[in-house]
Every structure is written in structure tokens, then in C-alpha cells.
Structure 1
Amino acid sequence: MGAHESTGDRPTRSTRRTFLSASAVATAATVAVPLTTGTAAQAARPAGPGDPARPQTPDRELRALLREVDRDRIEAIVRRLAAFGTRHTLSRQDDPVRGIGAARDWIFEQLSGYAAASGGRMTVELQSYVQEPAPRIPVATRITNVVATLRGDVSPNRVYVVTGHYDSRATDVMDAVSDAPGADDDASGVAVLMELARVLATRHSEATIVLAAVAGEEQGLYGSAYLAKQLKAAGVDVQGMFSNDIIGSSTADDGTRDPRAVRLFAEGVPTAETPAEASTRQSVGGENDSPSRQLARFVSDVAENGATGMRVRVIYRRDRYLRGSDHISFLREGWPAGRFTEPNEDFAHQHQDVRLVDGVQYGDLPEFCDFDYITRVALVNGAVLWSLAQAPGTPKGATIVTTNLTNDTTLRWQRGDEPDLAGYEVVWRETTAAEWQRVIPVGDVTEVTVDLSKDNVFFGVRAVDRDGHHSPVAFPRPGS
């Protein structure tokens, strides 16, 4: 293979164009560990568009994990949470049988029981603070998250978070007295994270997984905001977060059903981005390439398979109109995050007091939940969490060199420190395509020159380990 070197502003080339720089080829050729889509030697093959991008196949360990997810346990959790009558954030916290305090203590007890089987790897805490009067909080109120943390063995500071909110509400968001069983909104989401905590507790994870039942969501995302700020203050590297909110049924109020789909909301330009950063992104492209959207692409890549039986419908929006969930608290801290929610909503039963209307019972009751559907959403969450936590982290410092006028593209990134890191892959797609289309294995290098014009396509970089697990894609920013 020929290679080129730069002399001033004009590159001199061999008679044969290449997709790897000479230094990249030399480094790649020394890598003895095979990548998923080719060995390091194959990474140095002649120029070409790369291999077609294909979904990541679930390995034996992931399939075993998913088989342990128990539909009956999920149903039992939803029914138990609904039996507390109301879990309103402003309800009684010292009543042993009714209200948010009783629900909090039960969740803590269950998660602590799961953690006992972890050999010390999983810990459970009550994370509390007093929220002073604020919108929808008329008096100082203690808000408590129940947080289970499975510490990673290899990269403990790299963290992935899943939440469900255990508070509920009636039609009147300030009504802390009426029954508000909150089966769909959001005992369903809490049941998913609790069942995953049980299944994950006996396993070793490379990165850290946080499973949090948060409070105060209906009053203004208070619990998740506190959790996110605590993680930020601790210097934690949150590389992905998902809120499971209203995942109890696929049936809409008009009877429409889509039992094999779940929506994933993913915003575009990050909320934490400055106006200057947003302007730069828009000038060079990448409006559809925020970290949250790369995370959403990863979800589709690892979760749409026979092991979950589900289709992930990615919605390019932060959330639904008029509402928002706990992922927004993490977006505000600058972390990639998304929201899982059911494909069709039954507004006749959401946020309704339990009552009879013309002989028909209304309210967010377990009877309106589809527990098989919740179980499948749990499988999606399990596939995503495990695939993230066992893979290398998303490459950091990814840049695309824009200082020279060339018809090729040079990409650079920082090497990860995972001991099982095998190398990297460059992915690319047409600017009109929503998903990554082609993959080029490049070996264990931190710089590569690809014989495709940066003016014509979008590029990304992802890490790959020895077992073939790949990270979410890092979208490169312009640099030198």
C-alpha cells in the first residue's frame, strides 16, 4: 500500500490513494488482538468505503442475563407500589402503610435484599435532601432517592444511570391525599430498574451501573436533579443515562396497540452547549449528532434483536409536548441521556384519580398495565446497560482536522485505558442518512487518515474490545 506525506500546504501522493496514514498503518500492524470486524492487519487494507454497519449481536452472557428477567416479579412490584394508595411527594412520609414514605422504605428493603447477593459490589442508599418551598413544593419537603450502585471492576468512574420515579400524582398535581396508584406512571419504570438490580447484583460489570428510584418528578424533577448534581460534584464520568417513565402498556386510549415497540426520546444540540458551540456545530454539520443521539443509535444497535423482541423507535426530540422526564436533569449537566416511554399513551387513565365514570373505573391502576410489555422494555434496558458497561468507554477528544484543504479526512482521538481494548473503528454515513452506514476498522491507533472527503460525509469513532463489544460513537469536533 502507498502512503502520502504533506509538504507545505500541498500533499504529495503515491499513485494509489490510501485510507490510512503511514503512521497509522505501522501502528495498526503491530496489534495482535482481532477486532470484531477484522484483524489489525486487515485494518490496513486498500482504500474503500468500509464494511456495512451491522447491529451488535448479543453474546452468550447477555442472553443469559436477559433470560433471568422475571415477568411475574415485575408485575408483583407494580402491584405492590400501587397498593400504597398514593406516592405523592407531599404525602405522609411516616405512615408505614400509605404514602411515599412507606413506598420508599419498601423499595429500599427490596433493593438491599438484592444487593446482599452481590458480594459487596452493589450498595444501596437513601439519598435525601430537604427541598425548600418552590414551584409545586409549598412547604419544605424531604425528597429521597433510593439508589442502587453496582460498582465496576475495571472502570468504576465510568457510570451509566437508569431511573424510574416512584412518586405519583392525581389529576390535581397538588393533591397529596386522593388515591394515586401510579401503576403506569411510574411504577412500571421503577419495576424495570428493580428487576434489573436483582439480575445484575450477582454479576461483575466493567463500568459502574446506577439504578435509581427517584422522587419529586411530578413536582418538577427534583429528585433526579439532586442525583445528577451529586454525581457531578463527585466528578463521576456519566456516559449515558435513561429515564424509564410511563412504560406500562402499548395501548392508546383509542385502542391502538404496538406491543413490540418502545419510544426513545433523544434531543439534538445539547442543552449545556454554549451559543458559540452550537453555532460552530451548525456551521460544520452534526445537528443530528449530539452525544444523546449517538447514545440512541447505540440503543438501536444493541437492543433490536431476537433476545428482546422489540423495536426501538427513536424520536429526535427532547421529550413529548407539555411534559418532561428525569433525563432532562442529566441533559442539563451536559451528559447524554434519553427517555424510554410507551409508543401509545392512554390519556384517559394517566394522572387520573381512582373513580367511576358511567360505571367505568378510571385511574392509573395495575389493571391497565401490560406486564408482558413492561418485561420486554426491561429486556431492552438490560441489553443496553450490559452492552454499555461491558464495552470500552466512548472515545474522548475526538477531532476532525480542518486546517488544510484536502479531499481526505484526518481524525484524532485519545486512547482509552481499558485493559481489554483492542482498537478503534471509524464509522461514516451520508449527510442525509440518519444511521451510520459503513465501518472501517483502523486498529489500536489514535490518528487515521481516511480517503473520503470530510465535506461530503459525516464521520465518527468508536472503541472495540477483544470480545467484540463496541462503544457508542464519538462525533468529532473541528480541530487541528
Structure 2
Amino acid sequence: MKKIFIFSFCLLTSINSFSQKIINRDPQIEALVKQISSDSLKKFDEKLVSFGTRSTLSTTTEANRGIGASRQWVLSKFKEFAKQSEGRMTAVLDTFTLQPDGKRIDKTIAMANVMATLKGTDPNDDRIFMVSGHIDSRVTNVMNRESDAPGANDDGSGTVAVIELARIMSKSKFPATIIFVVVSGEEQGLLGANFLAEKAIKENWNLEALLNNDIMGSNNSNETNIIDNTRIRVFSEGLPAFEMDKKVGAIRQYGVENDGKARQLARYVKETGERYVDNLEVVMIYRNDRFLRGGDHTPFVTRGFSAVRLSEMNENFLHQHQDLRIENGVEYGDLPKFMDFEYLRKNTGINLATLANLAKSPSMPQDVVLDVRGLGNSTNLNWKAPKSGKVKGYYVMMRETAMPYWQKKFFTTELKISLPYSKDNYFFAVQSVSEDGNESLPVLPRVGLRNAGE
């Protein structure tokens, strides 16, 4: 008789219930997370601030000031880390030119994203996982290119997190490729991210996930005066922006409006991040971004990629997009002294755990099908093996339709499963699992109405 191993996760329980939860950590990933240093992050952040301003419109010719100098410094760090990668990591300035647009670009400017690519070790695995932050900063007037704009948190925090991830992960081997990117032009309209997303389309990248980090290093808010370094937000789109007209029928019929690519990635970030980072809760926000704001994940989302934004739980707007000043005894400005680098360490760990677990996993199972040919109170699923990676088996994930997180996982070594749960009452998905227990992103099944060949 076939054995099915069941793992129950108490991700969401009622207030009166309690169940045991076993946490299994990959020793390699656990060791990498422990290497993240709040002192290292602080050192990198203070160096970024030392360039005075990193406005997209600022100088590119001075050695120690402006966007040009700061990009060259990040490139030098990536190249330094590449030396410990045994040739797997390369680093470049990915340059392009923009003309005046009558909006936030008032002259021809030389743009550049700073990219470090850690090539995967499996030649049959073409998957790419990417992590990003934006290097540019601003003051109150987005066109002000001269005044000091420290940008310690917006988005020095995301930038130094990417640098720290490159420092640590460059020494390790992963089957899939990881790209560490610091983009320019976010404050002028997501310019660097738009360029990069379009490049991914043109070059046919198999980009499976993007983690965008923006404003993730402060633990307190203005107005509400909440101080909390135990939670981080992950923003994710629900309904897909890409080719929505082609998908809306199936979404309505099968009720999967809460199961788009970004939402699945957000669930993965929560489960995996909390597995490896203690005393930190990943809070899923069911929006692509905040009101009146935008982030560098959006150009990827709108092109059909799976992308999410990670941000601190309680933003302080006294220290974002502000001229440096003191008014009525209140200090304004995005300075390092308003940062919590221990909080940033934990938030960086969420990124590392997610990236490493994804890059070590097999690719996703193929052609996952939910058999609905007959009436009944059971569920039958089948699928095909992934294109790459060594597979120990598969997790079949299950949750009630009104639940935000996966509630149960069933492990099987076969390419099919029959479960005594009604397909009408639950959502299901399937993950490939490596020999070390690393899970791929989940795949929702397509609905199979006929036998093959009919």
C-alpha cells in the first residue's frame, strides 16, 4: 500500500487551538543566514550616505559625490565579492541613456543598473532568481540634484541588503542563477527597473521570482508612534495585470483570484523566511504597493513576472523624501541615526533564506492537473516531473478556500495523489522537493475535464 506522509503547518489557527509545529532547516541556508552582519550593513549604509546625494540627476563625473560615484562603489564591492566565487560571479554596470521627458528627466542622462550575476552550477537549469534595491535618493523636490539626500533608508536599506547578500552568497554554489541588482532612477519613475524588466523580456529570461527591497530599515512610525522590529511587510498583487483579459474567465470560474504568481511568491516568502529568521513575522499585504507610491517590482509584475515588494512594517515619513532640516524641534531627513540595523539584519535574512531555498530547489513540477471528470468527495491530482534538479518527491499543498496560507502538506514520491478531501472545498498546489528538502514555487493545477486523447 502506498504511503503518504502528512506534514501539518499551524500557519493560521484559531485562538483556542494549538498544534505542534516542526521546523526543519537546511543547515547550509541556516549557516548563511547567520553570517548576515548588522555591523556590515551599517558600514555599507554609511558609505552610501557619504556620497552626499544619489539623485538620478546628480553628477556622474565627481569621484566622491553623486550617483555616478555611488554606482562605481557598489560595482567595486560586487567585483570584490566575485573574487571569492571561483569564477561563478560576474559584475557589470548595465548602462543606457534617457532623453528629457518633460516630467522628471530634464536633460539627457546616463543611466546604469549595477548587477552581479551568480551563475548556477546546473547547466540544465536556466532559472533566474533576482533580488533588488534602488540606489537613487531624493529630497523634497525630486528635481533637486544638488542638496544632500542621504537616503539611508530609502533606499539605502534595500541597496545595502543586496550588497550584503552578494557578499555572503557569492561563496556558495546553487543549481540556479541568482542576480543581485541595484537599480537607478526609481524616484524619477521606476526607470532602471523598467529598462531591466524589458531586457528580461527581450532576452527571454526564465525569471521565476523577484524580491524587491525598498525602505526596510527603520522600526518606528510617525503619527502612530509604533515601535516594532518584529514584523516586515510583503506586498503582492492578487489578480494578474499581465494578460488579464485571457485569464479572467478561469479566475472567476474556479475562484482563484487570490492565487496569482505574486501572491504565491508572497506565501513562499512568509513560510520560508519565518523558517530561518527568528523573532520576525512576515505580514502579507494584499496590495501590489502602498497608496500613492510605487516600487521597482511593478514593471516586472506588469510584464507577467512573479515579483513582490518587501518593506518595513511602520514607515516614518519624517525621514523619507525630506530636505534636511529641524522645524519646531522635529528633525527631518533620511539619516543613518534613524535606522535599526538589527532589524535590517533580520529583514535581509528573509531575502537570503528565500533566495537560497529557491535556488537549491528543483524546478517546478510540470503540467499539474486536477481531475474533475466525475462527481465525488475526493481529489485526484497528477503531474509531470520538473525539467531540472534532483527530486526527492513532491509536496501537495492544501488550504480551505477562505484561508490565506497553505494549511497542510502531503508528501509523495509519485507523480499523482488521491486525497480524501473534496476538490470543491479546498485549493491545492504542488511543489517539487529536493533531496535537502528545498521546495520549488508551488504550481496550481489546471482543471482537467477530459481523458487524454478525447
The normalised TM-score by structure 1 is 0.87
Q: Over residues 304-343 of structure 1, what are the superposed CA-to-partner deviations in whole Å (9 max), with x where a residue is unaligned? A: 1464431101111101000111111111121111100000
Structure number with bigger Rg: 1
Residue aligning to 2:94: 127
| Aligned residues of 1:55 and 1:302 also touching (Cα < 8 A) | no
Displacement after TM superposition at 1:419 (Å): 4.0
Distance across 1 between alignment mates of 2:418 and 2:276: 37
Which of the pair has the greater relative contact order for Cα pairs under 8 Å at 6+ separation? 1
Work out which of the residue numbers 43, 48, 52 in structure 2 matches 1:85.
52
**C-alpha deviation, 1:359, in angstroms:** 4.8
Report the Cα distance in structure 2 between the residues aligned to 1:406 and 1:229, rounded to whole angstroms: 46
Distance 1:396 1:171 in 2: 49
Deviation sequence 1:333-375 (CA, Å, 0-9, x none): 2111110000001111110011232354321111111111111
The residue that corresponds to 1:233 in the other structure is 202
Distance 1:396 1:136, change over 3 A: farther
State how far apart, in whole Å, the 1-side matches of 2:326 and 2:404 are: 46
The aligned residue for residue 13 of structure 2 is none
Correspondences of 1:160-239 after superposition (within 5 Å)? 160-239=129-208
CA deviations 1:391-412 (Å, max 9, x no partner) are: 1223343332344444433333
Matched, 1:253 2:222: yes
Change (3 A) 1:306 1:119: closer
Give SS of 2:92's match.
strand
SS in 1 for 2:367: coil
Gaps of 5+ in 1: 2-40
- The aligned counterpart of 1:452 is 421
2:8 paired residue number: 52
Q: Does 2:181 correspond to 1:242?
A: no
* Alignment partners' CA distance in 2, 1:274 and 1:403: 27
Deviation track 1:11-47 (CA, whole Å, cap 9, x = no partner) reads: xxxxxxxxxxxxxxxxxxxxxxxxxxxxxx523x8xx
> C-alpha displacement at 1:387, in angstroms?
1.0
Equivalent of 1:291 in 255, 261, 265: 261
1:152-202 deviation digits (Å, cap 9, x = unpaired): 112541011100000011111111122111111001101001011000111
Q: Secondary structure at the match of 1:299?
A: helix
Structure 1 position 207, deviation (Å): 0.9
Partner of 2:295: 325
Return the match for 1:339 from 303, 309, 316: 309
CA contact (8 A) 1:422 1:444 kept: no
Q: Partner residue of 1:151?
A: 119
Farther-moved stretch of structure 1 (404-413 vs 76-85):
404-413
d(CA) in 2 for partners of 1:57, 1:215: 38
Query: In structure 2, how many angstroms separate the alpha carbons of the residues matched to 1:296 and 1:419?
Result: 23
Q: Specify the alignment match of 1:105 in structure 2.
A: 72
CA contact 1:308–1:379 (8 Å) conserved in 2? no
Give the total of aligned pairs.
435
The TM-score normalised by the length of structure 2 is 0.91
The one of 371, 393, 402 aligned to 2:363 = 393
SS in 2 for 1:76: helix
Cα distance in 1, alignment partners of residues 444 and 109 from structure 2: 42
C-alpha distance after superposition, 1:102-157 (max 9, x if no partner):
10111111111011111110110100111233331222322100001111112541
Q: In the alignment, which of 83, 89, 105 is matched to residue 116 of structure 1?
A: 83
Work out the CA distance in 2 between the residues paired with 1:163 and 1:351: 20
Matches of 1:250 and 1:130 in 2, distance apart?
37
Which of 133, 141, 147 pairs up with 2:109? 141
Aligned counterpart, 1:367: 337
Q: Which moved further from structure 2: 121-130 or 65-74?
A: 65-74
CA distance in 2, matches of 1:425, 1:273: 29
Structure 1 residues 411, 149: closer, same or farther in 2, change over 3 A?
same
Residues 131 and 414 of structure 1: is their aligned pair in 2 closer, same or farther, counting only changes over 3 Å?
A: farther
**Identity rate, percent:** 38
How far apart, in 2, do the equivalents of 1:397 and 1:220 lie?
38
| Rounded Cα–Cα distance in structure 1 between residues aligned with 2:343 and 2:441 | 26
1:433 Cα deviation (Å)?
A: 1.2
Which segment drifts farther, 163-172 or 57-66? 57-66
Partner of 1:42: 3
| Secondary structure in 1 matching 2:156 | helix
Q: 1:461: which partner in 2?
A: 430
Comparing 167-176 with 416-425, greater Cα deviation is found at 416-425
Q: Is the 8 A contact 1:56 1:301 kept in 2?
A: no
2:352 is paired with a residue whose SS is: helix
CA RMSD of aligned residues (A): 1.8
Q: Is the 8 A contact 1:308 1:380 kept in 2?
A: no
Separation (CA, whole Å) in 1 of partners of 2:303 and 2:382: 26
AA at the equivalent of 1:427: M
When residues 289 and 132 of structure 1 are mapped into structure 2, their CA distance, relative to the original with a 3 A threshold, is: same
Question: What SS is found at the alignment partner of 1:219?
Answer: coil
What code does the residue aligned with 2:84 have?
Answer: A
Query: What one-letter code is carried by the residue in structure 2 that aligns with 1:151?
Result: K
141-150 vs 249-258, which moves further: 249-258
Residue type of the partner of 1:138?
Answer: D
